[in-house]
């Protein structure tokens, strides 16, 4: 009886060692900063994740705002993919075109004629940091409405002066807290933060909130390999919060 | 022959198949969550920001921030849904009452002089205590994933930084748990018990 018992224990020990080996192979695969099929993982999980994100987005629900005392003036880091364009505010025009009945070309004076909307929200960066910021500007939905979009519009493209480009789902673009901002923390927007005009919204990650916007194009379909500067490198497109 | 086989099977610890499946999926998805989570961490360390200490590449999964996020938000479904069905399973089968920490274990920890009984009570205490930690990881993660839609989760923790810290702390907690849990299993049931949970 005894030797059999010992033999069994030996076998168990061997399997335990095999198991540890398996676990460490798993860990090796896990490790080494390996991209390890990240593109496949994205392709497989993105449809589910995006439909859940779109479902979670309540297009009319206002995201609670913060009191002015909660503003974190130093927390908003500056991220730029290429360079900081210098734009002459006096000659600046924002064009709104695409699937609209009334294409627009607006000066800063035109834009600032509309009533100012102010909001103090949490700006969340994909990198993991966040900052409570006050943004002032005009509701994007008002600009889009005055261009009289066609019924088939489903997406919005944003072109920036530095070559950055982004695309949004129309529901997020029409959210009442999605602004074309020209004011930050009570002051005119600085050039580093996207002056004269940038996107600001509590419902999208920072990389969706283009700076130095010069052109807004309403479309029915997204261009396949051109959905946004970072998205085309592999970042998630919806990026809803 | 028959009786010896019966005796043998009685002396061998066995685990219910659903428990084994839960255990495997939990370990695998947690490894993926931790590797990809540390990859995301490195984009802007919770402690020290961009100038803070970064985890070495060996521990990372995804290759870069976007890849880490893809892995994290794919593995989260396996991790969370695995916990969900397991929760329903232990509730329906009442394993919750029989297989997890109970009043009898707490009593044993307080009064028992039997070291085996005490070890067993500790073992049950430790693997019961990790369940709320795993749920906390999901809860804080949901708050960071959708801070606008679930702004109340961020509010509960007071600030964004506090939420990030609590979410991150679940990682060392789980790792320390894994070590203690393995040692206690070994102490309570030897390698037979460990084997029984895997195969």
Q: How far apart, in Å, are the Cα atoms of A223 and each of A157, A163, A166, A232, A239?
A: 10, 16, 11, 11, 18
In a domain, residue B5? The reply is no
pLDDT band of residue A19 (cuts 50, 70, 90) is low
Is residue A92 within 8 A of residue A109, CB to CB? The reply is no
Give the structural domain span for B72: 18-198
pLDDT number for residue A1: 38
Sorted by sequence, the CB contacts under 8 Å of residue B104 that are 6+ apart come out as: none
Phi (first) and psi of residue A133, to 5 degrees: -130, 145
- Mean pLDDT of the residues in chain A: 87
B7 touches chain A (CB under 8 A): no
- Residue in A with minimal Cα distance to B147: A241
Q: Does B2 have pLDDT greater than 60?
A: no
Q: Does A5 have pLDDT greater than 50?
A: no
pLDDT digits (tens, 9 = 90+) for B95-140: 888 889 999 999 998 998 999 999 999 999 999 999 999 999 999 9
Q: Does A224 have pLDDT greater than 60?
A: yes
Which chain B residues are Cβ-neighbours of A62 within 8 angstroms? Answer: none
Using CA atoms, how far apart are residues A50 and A55, in angstroms rounded to an integer? 8
Per DSSP, the three-state class of B43 is helix
In a domain, residue B7? The reply is no
Ranges A88-92, A197-201, A207-211, B20-24: which has the least confidence? A88-92
pLDDT digits (tens, 9 = 90+) for B159-172: 999 999 999 999 99
Q: Give the residue among A232, A197, A189 at the shortest CA–CA distance from A81.
A: A232
Number of domains forming the structure of chain B: 1
Fold assignment, A64-233 = Sulfite Oxidase; Chain A, domain 2 (3.90.420)
pLDDT band of residue B19 (cuts 50, 70, 90) is very high
In a domain, residue B4? The reply is no
pLDDT number for residue A39: 84
Tell me the domain boundaries of chain A.
Answer: 64-233
Cis peptide before A196 (omega within 30 of 0): yes
pLDDT digits (tens, 9 = 90+) for B37-46: 999 999 999 9
CATH code where residue B103 lies: 1.20.950.20
Average pLDDT over residues B21-38: 95
Q: Does A55 have pLDDT greater than 80?
A: yes
Phi-psi region at B43: left, alpha or beta (left = phi > 0; alpha = psi -120 to 50): alpha
pLDDT band of residue A109 (cuts 50, 70, 90) is very high
Mutate which: A35, A123, A201, A233, vs B, most B CBs within 10 A: A35
pLDDT number for residue B5: 46
**Which has the higher per-residue pLDDT, B5 or B192?**
B192
pLDDT digits (tens, 9 = 90+) for A130-144: 999 999 999 999 999
Which chain B residues are Cβ-neighbours of A125 within 8 angstroms? Answer: 44
Q: How far apart, in Å, are the Cα atoms of B108 and each of A202, B76, B111, B130, B189?
A: 52, 37, 5, 20, 18
In a domain, residue B13? The reply is no
- Look up residue A232 and give its two tokens: 């085309």
A92 to chain B, minimum CA–CA distance in Å? 33
**Which has the higher per-residue pLDDT, B90 or A28?**
B90
Token look-up 């990881």 returns B137
Using CA atoms, how far apart are residues A49 and A11, in angstroms rounded to an integer? 44
In a domain, residue B2? The reply is no
Q: Does A4 have pLDDT greater than 50?
A: no
pLDDT number for residue A24: 53
pLDDT digits (tens, 9 = 90+) for B33-72: 999 999 999 999 999 988 899 999 989 999 999 999 999 9
Token look-up 């709320």 returns B132
Mutate which: A37, A38, A52, vs B, most B CBs within 10 A: A38
| Neighbour tally for A196: CB within 10 Å | 24
In a domain, residue B165? The reply is yes
Q: What ipTM was predicted for this assembly? A: 0.84
pLDDT digits (tens, 9 = 90+) for A163-213: 999 999 999 999 999 999 999 999 999 999 998 999 999 999 999 999 999
């Amino acid at each position: 009886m005894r030797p059999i018992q010992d033999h069994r224990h030996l076998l168990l020990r061997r399997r335990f060692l095999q198991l540890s080996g398996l676990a460490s192979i798993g860990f090796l695969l896990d490790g080494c900063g390996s991209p390890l099929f990240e593109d496949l993982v994205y392709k497989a999980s993105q449809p589910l994740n995006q439909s859940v994100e779109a479902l979670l987005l309540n297009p009319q629900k206002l995201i609670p705002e913060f009191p002015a005392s909660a503003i974190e003036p130093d927390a908003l880091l500056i991220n730029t993919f290429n360079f900081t364009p210098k734009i002459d505010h006096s000659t600046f025009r924002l064009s709104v075109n695409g699937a609209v009945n009334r294409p627009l070309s607006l000066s800063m004076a035109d834009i600032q004629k509309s009533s100012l909307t102010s909001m103090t929200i949490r700006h969340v960066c994909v990198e993991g940091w966040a900052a409570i910021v006050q943004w002032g500007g005009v509701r994007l939905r008002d600009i889009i409405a005055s261009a009289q979009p066609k019924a088939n519009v489903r997406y919005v493209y944003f072109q920036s002066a530095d070559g950055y480009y982004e695309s949004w789902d129309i529901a997020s673009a029409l959210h009442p807290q999605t602004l074309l901002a020209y004011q930050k923390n009570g002051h005119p927007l600085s050039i580093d933060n996207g002056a004269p005009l940038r996107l600001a919204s509590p419902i999208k990650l920072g990389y969706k909130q283009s700076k130095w916007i010069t052109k807004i194009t309403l479309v029915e379909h997204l261009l396949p390999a051109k959905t946004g500067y970072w998205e085309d490198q592999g970042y998630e497109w919806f990026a809803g919060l | 022959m028959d009786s010896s086989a019966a005796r043998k099977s009685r002396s061998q610890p066995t685990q219910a198949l659903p428990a084994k499946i839960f255990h495997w999926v939990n370990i695998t998805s947690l490894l993926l969550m931790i590797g990809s989570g540390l990859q995301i961490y490195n984009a802007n360390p919770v402690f020290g920001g961009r100038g803070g200490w970064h985890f070495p590449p060996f521990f990372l999964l995804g290759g870069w921030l976007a890849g880490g996020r893809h892995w994290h938000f794919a593995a989260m479904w396996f991790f969370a849904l695995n916990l969900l069905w397991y929760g329903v399973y232990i509730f329906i089968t009442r394993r919750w009452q029989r297989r997890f920490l109970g009043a009898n274990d707490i009593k044993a920890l307080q009064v028992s002089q039997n070291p085996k009984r005490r070890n067993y009570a500790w073992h049950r205490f430790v693997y019961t205590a990790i369940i709320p930690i795993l749920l906390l990881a999901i809860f804080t993660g949901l708050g960071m994933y959708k801070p606008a839609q679930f702004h109340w989760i961020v509010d509960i923790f007071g600030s964004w930084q506090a939420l990030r810290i609590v979410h991150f702390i679940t990682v060392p907690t789980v790792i320390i748990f894994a070590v203690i849990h393995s040692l206690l299993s070994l102490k309570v049931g030897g390698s037979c018990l460990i084997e029984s949970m895997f195969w």
